[in-house]
Structure 1
Amino acid sequence: MAFLGVLALVATACGTQDDRPAGPTRSVPHAMGTAQVGVDAQRVVVLDTGELDSVLALGVTPVGTVSADEATGPQSYLGQQAAQIGQVGTIQSPNLEAIAALQPDLILSNAVRHRDIFQQLQGIAPTVFSQSVGKSWQQNLLLAGDALGKRAEAERILAGYRGKADEVGAAFGDPARTEVSMVRFMSGGVRLYGAGSFIGTVLADVGLGRPPIARTDRTFVEVGREEIAKADGDLLFYAGYGEDGRARQAELSAGPLWQRLTAVTRGAAHPVDDDLWYLGIGPLAADRVLDELRSYAPGTRD
């Protein structure tokens, strides 16, 4: 596609999609209205990590995706499933020209990240937005299923996930008696993740308890280094986001306040993959997290 043609395409802010796509379509209600999506849509571009996880779980390999930041590619836990997908910028800054050049017939994202560029995106291809991210990952999977004509498969995936979550909970005996703390080191501080997050929903579906500070519908609560005692739990899982986050993790986890946490002194504080536990936000990640959680149930570890 010629450069000027691409610029013209991304500058178009179409209010309707009546003349696109050619051929049969399905109406897909979503956060920004209703999209007319071709029933044989195959060239899919996804603009967030949850959408990437979801479409791969549904058996579709997108032609384009974004990375969490400029230094990384798709989530590492996806491995070869995502290795050959074209890169179209970052979550914060999708490259509209690169998206248009891929000639997609469907774009998937969410209003939290990309509300401001929705008009430009739907000027490129039918665009379906979920309302939110994180806690809503199961509803977002169903929406992706609607857009791709794979609703029944999305429902089957979720039924399997819920059954597996029940099995993992049973491995803990009375899971509510085990309080699980989720700690994420960022460049600017420390986040303790609550019920309003992807990982919070997985822990809730297993039936695990949460420490007092995590019993919130918020995605996370920021704490300072002097408040690190609030991160304690019967089980504690921690990760660092990016190089700066991992540097902060190394610094604070070597300090006396962290070392005095009960979970640390009992050997119940464990590093986890940030890509998987915090960025995955979809059924493939949830399934892997359940496998890892099961390995921490009583009697399963030496």
Structure 2
Amino acid sequence: MKRAWVLLFVASLATTALGQTCQGRLIQHAMGETCVPKVAQRVVVLDTGELDSALALGVKPVGAVTAPGQPFQGYLLSLTEGIQSVGTIQQPNLEKILALKPDLILSNKLRHGQIYPQLSRIAPTVMAETVGVVWKENLLLVGEALGRSTQAKVLLAQYQRRVTQLRNRLGGRGHLPSVSMVRFVPGQIRLYCKANFIGTILADIGLPRPKSQDSDKFAEFISQERIADMDADYIFYAAYGDPNQTELNAVLNHPLWRRLSAVQRGRAIRVEDDHWYLGIGPLAASQVLDDLERFLLRTP
């Protein structure tokens, strides 16, 4: 009964009337045009990329979602204290969002386009089109919505400088090593290709991918019989959630895994899922670059 009342209340909230003068700033986004506050004070974010981007821009949301069964990303632990959970990415809790009295909601059409009308009646809502591969464009949109476009551009410039420096340092060693990306998700083994967050970072550096991942799509979904397709100069692998609920241990103990050249050379490295896959923002990208510098530039 309470939930039904809240939904009815949300549906009754007045939105900005067509033709009414915007007293803040007009933002163009995936769902149209929205009048946002000149300086938002109470921001709610509904995806991990928006959380990362807002924090990178110096704005601490009052509320945020998490990945199912997960806390806020570990690499953001020191920055997320006091942020209220408002459900999961798949199921934002409208009651909790409403109770926080936000003046701006940030999300994306891919995740929450269907509930945009309800969200926009709670507060001005700005949505990117999608996630992952467009994380840089999404950062710029978040920056615009928060009135921090200059800061967003500075973050991207800093990222690009680091990418260039790493590419030059690796190139000075004679060749750029190939990199394989493997993620274990309950019920799935994924070989990440180019159309995702980590794929953009590897492409920016110029790191080649093995044939199994050298395509402009999100991922290949494979079985253990295709472990050989994981091989490259380096293998970086991670597990989403509880690794015991995935095929991680089965693969690591498989004879085919032990035959991989990267494994035999000590170049199969487990990395943190939180920032390599879940983060999808500038803070996560910076952490990934830290890892790549440490692993790829260490003395052979």
TM-score range (shorter-chain normalised) is: over 0.9
Return the alpha-carbon distance in structure 1 between the equivalents of residues 44 and 175 of structure 2. Answer: 40
Partner in structure 2 of residue 167 of structure 1? 165
| Aligned-pair CA distance for 1:301 | 4.1
Amino acid at match of 1:11: A
Deviation sequence 1:228-277 (CA, Å, 0-9, x none): 11111101100011115664211211111111111111100000000110
How many equivalent pairs are there?
297
Return the alpha-carbon distance in structure 2 between the equivalents of residues 168 and 287 of structure 1. Answer: 12
Which runs of 5 or more structure 1 residues have no equivalent in the other structure?
Answer: none
Return the alpha-carbon distance in structure 1 between the equivalents of residues 34 and 225 of structure 2. Answer: 49
Superposed, which structure 2 residues align to 1:189-268 within 5 Å? 189-243=188-242, 247-268=246-267
Partner in structure 1 of residue 99 of structure 2? 101
Deviation sequence 1:116-175 (CA, Å, 0-9, x none): 111110010000000010000000000001101101110010000000011111221268
What's the TM-score once normalised by structure 2's chain length? 0.93
Amino acid at match of 2:177: T
Partner in structure 2 of residue 32 of structure 1? 31
Return the alpha-carbon distance in structure 2 between the equivalents of residues 265 and 107 of structure 1. Answer: 48
Amino acid at match of 1:154: A
Partner in structure 1 of residue 118 of structure 2? 120
**1:72 aligned counterpart, secondary structure:** coil
Return the alpha-carbon distance in structure 1 between the equivalents of residues 175 and 134 of structure 2. Answer: 22
- Is 1:150 the equivalent of 2:148? yes
**1:88 aligned counterpart, secondary structure:** strand
CA contact (8 A) 2:163 2:205 kept: yes
| Aligned-pair CA distance for 1:24 | 2.7
Return the alpha-carbon distance in structure 1 between the equivalents of residues 12 and 222 of structure 2. Answer: 44
Sort the Cα spacing of 1:28 and 1:259 in 2 relative to 1 into closer, same or farther, 3 A.
same
**2:16 aligned counterpart, secondary structure:** coil
**1:172 aligned counterpart, secondary structure:** helix
**1:132 aligned counterpart, secondary structure:** coil
Amino acid at match of 1:31: A
- Is 1:51 the equivalent of 2:72? no
Partner in structure 2 of residue 11 of structure 1? 11
Return the alpha-carbon distance in structure 1 between the equivalents of residues 165 and 77 of structure 2. Answer: 26
Return the alpha-carbon distance in structure 2 between the equivalents of residues 116 and 176 of structure 1. Answer: 47
User: Over the residues paired in the alignment, what is the CA RMSD in angstroms?
Assistant: 2.1
Return the alpha-carbon distance in structure 2 between the equivalents of residues 262 and 12 of structure 1. Answer: 62
Superposed, which structure 2 residues align to 1:62-81 within 5 Å? 62-69=61-68, 71-81=69-79
Aligned-residue sequence identity (percent) comes to: 48
Return the alpha-carbon distance in structure 2 between the equivalents of residues 130 and 95 of structure 1. Answer: 20
Return the alpha-carbon distance in structure 2 between the equivalents of residues 295 and 82 of structure 1. Answer: 26
CA contact (8 A) 2:176 2:206 kept: no
Amino acid at match of 1:235: Y
Amino acid at match of 2:126: V
CA contact (8 A) 1:185 1:246 kept: no
Sort the Cα spacing of 1:77 and 1:22 in 2 relative to 1 into closer, same or farther, 3 A.
farther
